[in-house]
Structure 1
Amino acid sequence: MFAIDHSYGQARLSLSNKNASAEAKAVYAYLQDMYGKKMLAGQMTSNWGFDELKYVLDSTGKLPAIRGLDFVDSAKNNNEVKFAKAWWKQGGIPTIMWHWGAPAIGSGYENSKKEIDIDKIFQQGTPEHTAFWKELKEKAQLLKKLKRAKVPVLWRPFHELNGNWFWWGKQGPDRFKRLWITMYNYYVHDQHLDNLIWVHCYMDKPDAAWYPGREYVDIAGPDTYQPGLSRKGMYEQTRAIVGDTMPIAFHECGIPPDPAKSFAEGSKWSWFMQWHTDHLKKVPAAHLKYVYDHDLVVTLDKVPNIKKAYRERRPNIFERVKIALDNLVTVLL
């Protein structure tokens, strides 16, 4: 089990990276404070001509707390970094995903759905191995720009991992977990990307076989675009895998969940992220405004100064004794 951090005045789960930045720790503490009480509004943005944030603002009078970005287009990835910096400065939380084109085939969304032999990624001298590490290093350099700017990131790689349409999910859970752990170890231990909060994303039906373990994951949750699928079921399936303490997010949706109904049925999403362009345009305007106006939903204007409100303080002697005792009990159990 993971140690519980009492340094913020109440028990919270610690980030998987024990060297996480102050900003990452603060965001994680805030998300845990909100978890089970309210859900954050999130909006995925595109970079090809439609301004999702303006659309949401015009439709609701508000902006989302979380802005979604994507390292899908190498030519535009520096812009995604700039957007992440600006969003954090504006008071919001950035999340970044990566539609990673299959190594040795090419970049872009369509290539992310191509299949390769994943085992060759781990064989030196193969085109797959060379391309994999080249791409991994390039994205590390982008994320380092955010680290230097003290911008925390909800980092969501290898998304929809069990969906069987992206190359990282086509050959089963064991190969997927090897990919995840390889990236985690390289980014955390070699590149010291301490500003990342690691977000694990299922599709439709969460499955424990695909879970790499608490030591590599900070937040988990599913996606779905199927209106008839039980969202309560997805939440409960994720909860059965990661437990009660880790925040569970609704990572992508075709229509935002009803906050009142979700909380009433026990689906206490940490956040939702509405998908971009046509998916957003198809959301009924009344529903979008209802969600953004709801007391259970956190929009940008309701996000506190996270760094200031959740800055880490050194526990006093009594708290340190309690932490030591709690950790001892954890070890004995």
Structure 2
Amino acid sequence: MRKVVSNFIYIFIGALLMTACGGDTPNTSVLEAPEMINSDPANGAKGLPSGNIIVVLTYNQNVTSPSSEHGKVTLGNASITTVSAVLTKVTIQASGLEKGTDYQLIIPKGVILGPTKLEAPRVSITFSTLAKQSIENVLCTSNPSTQSVKVYNFLKDNFGEKLISGTMANVNWNVNEAEWVYKHTGKYPALNAFDFVHLYASPANWIDYGNTTVIENWWNNNGLVVATWHWNVPQSEGSNDYGFYYTGKNNGTGETSFDITKAIQNSTPENLRVKADLDKIADYLLLLKAKNIPVIWRPMHEASGGWFWWGAKGAAPFKALWKLMFDTFKEKGVDNLIWVWTAQTGDNEWYPGNEYVDIVSCDIYNKTLVSEIKGEYLNLVQAYPNKIITLSECGNVANISSQWNGGAAWSWFMPWYDYNRTKDVSDVAFNETSHIYANIDWWTDALGQSVVLTRDQMPSLK
């Protein structure tokens, strides 16, 4: 009889311990106090954003945190807003972090408990915020429009404090991606980017950049307007077929042999072509100026990659073409632009110069390690310390919460579009939440951050 009772006790204790451990608990004894195994941000992290922060601690077993103990958690002069424990994760949210400040997060012994109420030992994590940058106060455009100054000042004042959400038009002249995000989250991104990719064909019954209604509606609802330009040119002299990928680049799938070195030589056929295109697109931008709509202008992106014709022959002709564009717009009175140059790793020689650039951006795809993304951000901050830095394109990257908490304090972010998902807002595919670059789970994380601005939170900058 004693043996049966003993066996029953052993079984009961084993079941109790299994219940306490829970399904997600690592294989460790709950008779030991829980130990923190890592933190996000990591201990000793530098260059974190100011304002709000979320710190996530991971323990080696499931933990709890009685609300009566939360007041013991401290973070210098910052305010602890919430402390929560779910399974092995403890999440601490704080506000009021100042720029250029060293912080020490202290969680005293007893604030965190294991399944058997054993107290986790004291935890101390140190990190520092990025020092305030001295961003250029004026735009590179001489006598810029009132609205472009207001937008730039808004971007400058919020850089490092808030993160502006953005979407890209599906191909060119729509807000389909923004509508998709709204359908599944109930919020519109604050920024929408458009593309003059079919400039060569406009005006036509299928594309007319003279019809600015979609941009007017977006701006009138306090949305920010970005425009890029996949600059299509004839595939060969006299051709009626167009392309922007350079022949021999892009893994041999190039479309055009258009030579940028000839495009910057006066009176060549290539030069006449680019000048005609610049005059044409300037006229379209002047239509927006007439409606007091400023444009965050991002032309000739990813040049140093070499896959586009405007970057196929090196930095010097690229910068010459950039200056030609800048001067052409100046002569035609286009004063409603905020100029964005898109950098890539180690391509400082491609930088057109402070007098031609207001914002420096980068495009990041298929990177989920926050350390890599933060590295790209800090490289740009260090290389261009007086410029706003932004994530102009992204796809399949780490969650925005992790990027921000890890120290990548972009001005805005913008996932690229999923053609099949959002080409038709009335199609059944529009109802799905998957996406080749940023699914709704990714967006839910992004828009759930207090630092991320959506369109309903935007002030009028008119």
Does the alignment reach a TM-score above 0.5? Answer: yes
Counterpart of 1:288 (choices 429, 435, 443) is 443
1-structure distance, mates of 2:135, 2:230:
35
Q: Find out whether 1:18 has 2:149 as its counterpart.
A: no
**Alignment correspondent of 1:39:** 163
Counterparts in 2 of 1:101 and 1:286: CA distance versus 1, 3 Å: same
Counterparts in 2 of 1:266 and 1:134: CA distance versus 1, 3 Å: same
Gaps of 5+ in 1: 1-9, 308-333
**Alignment correspondent of 1:194:** 335
SS of 1:248's equivalent in the other structure is strand
Counterparts in 2 of 1:224 and 1:113: CA distance versus 1, 3 Å: farther
**Alignment correspondent of 2:189:** 64
**Shift, 1:22, TM fit:** 0.3
Deviations 1:37-90 (A, max 9, x none): 011001001158993222101121101111010001133241673322221111
Of stretches 233-242 and 16-25 in structure 1, the one that deviates more from structure 2 is 233-242
Counterpart of 1:86 (choices 205, 208, 217) is 217
Q: Find out whether 1:222 has 2:347 as its counterpart.
A: no
**Shift, 1:23, TM fit:** 0.2
Contact kept? 2:139, 2:149, Cα under 8 Å: yes
Counterparts in 2 of 1:257 and 1:67: CA distance versus 1, 3 Å: farther
Counterpart of 1:184 (choices 310, 326, 337) is 326
**Alignment correspondent of 1:327:** none
Counterparts in 2 of 1:164 and 1:12: CA distance versus 1, 3 Å: closer
**Shift, 1:108, TM fit:** 4.7
Contact kept? 1:102, 1:113, Cα under 8 Å: no
**Shift, 1:206, TM fit:** 4.7
**Shift, 1:113, TM fit:** 5.4
Structure 2 matches for 1:1-333, cutoff 5 A?
13-47=137-171, 51-74=176-199, 75=202, 76-78=207-209, 81-102=212-233, 104=237, 106-108=241-243, 114-188=256-330, 190-203=331-344, 205-228=345-368, 230-243=372-385, 245-255=386-396, 258-278=399-419, 281-282=435-436, 283-307=438-462
SS of 2:413's equivalent in the other structure is strand
SS of 1:17's equivalent in the other structure is coil
One-letter identity of the residue aligned with 1:70: D
Counterparts in 2 of 1:277 and 1:80: CA distance versus 1, 3 Å: farther
**Shift, 1:221, TM fit:** 1.3
Contact kept? 1:42, 1:65, Cα under 8 Å: yes
**Shift, 1:263, TM fit:** 2.7
**Alignment correspondent of 2:131:** none
Contact kept? 2:165, 2:452, Cα under 8 Å: yes
TM-align CA RMSD: 2.4
Higher-helix-fraction structure: 1
After TM superposition, the runs of 4+ consecutive aligned structure 1 residues lying more than 4 A away are 47-50, 103-106, 108-113
**Structure with larger RCO (C-alpha < 8 A, sep 6+):** 1
Contact kept? 2:178, 2:188, Cα under 8 Å: yes
Deviations 1:208-267 (A, max 9, x none): 111111100000110021325711121122122211x32111000114653332233321
1-structure distance, mates of 2:398, 2:166:
11
SS of 1:162's equivalent in the other structure is helix
2-structure distance, mates of 1:120, 1:164:
16
1-structure distance, mates of 2:244, 2:214:
20
2-structure distance, mates of 1:160, 1:11:
23
2-structure distance, mates of 1:95, 1:81:
13
One-letter identity of the residue aligned with 1:99: H
**Shift, 1:181, TM fit:** 1.1
Contact kept? 1:57, 1:63, Cα under 8 Å: yes
Q: TM-score, normalised by structure 1?
A: 0.81
Contact kept? 2:244, 2:308, Cα under 8 Å: no
1-structure distance, mates of 2:275, 2:186:
44
One-letter identity of the residue aligned with 2:307: W
Contact kept? 2:245, 2:307, Cα under 8 Å: no
Q: What count of residue pairs does the alignment treat as equivalent?
A: 295
2-structure distance, mates of 1:267, 1:77:
38
One-letter identity of the residue aligned with 1:237: N
Counterparts in 2 of 1:77 and 1:246: CA distance versus 1, 3 Å: farther
**Alignment correspondent of 2:48:** none
One-letter identity of the residue aligned with 1:56: V
SS of 2:212's equivalent in the other structure is helix
Rg comparison, structure with higher value: 2
Q: TM-score, normalised by structure 2?
A: 0.60
1-structure distance, mates of 2:311, 2:417:
23
**Alignment correspondent of 2:34:** none
One-letter identity of the residue aligned with 1:141: D
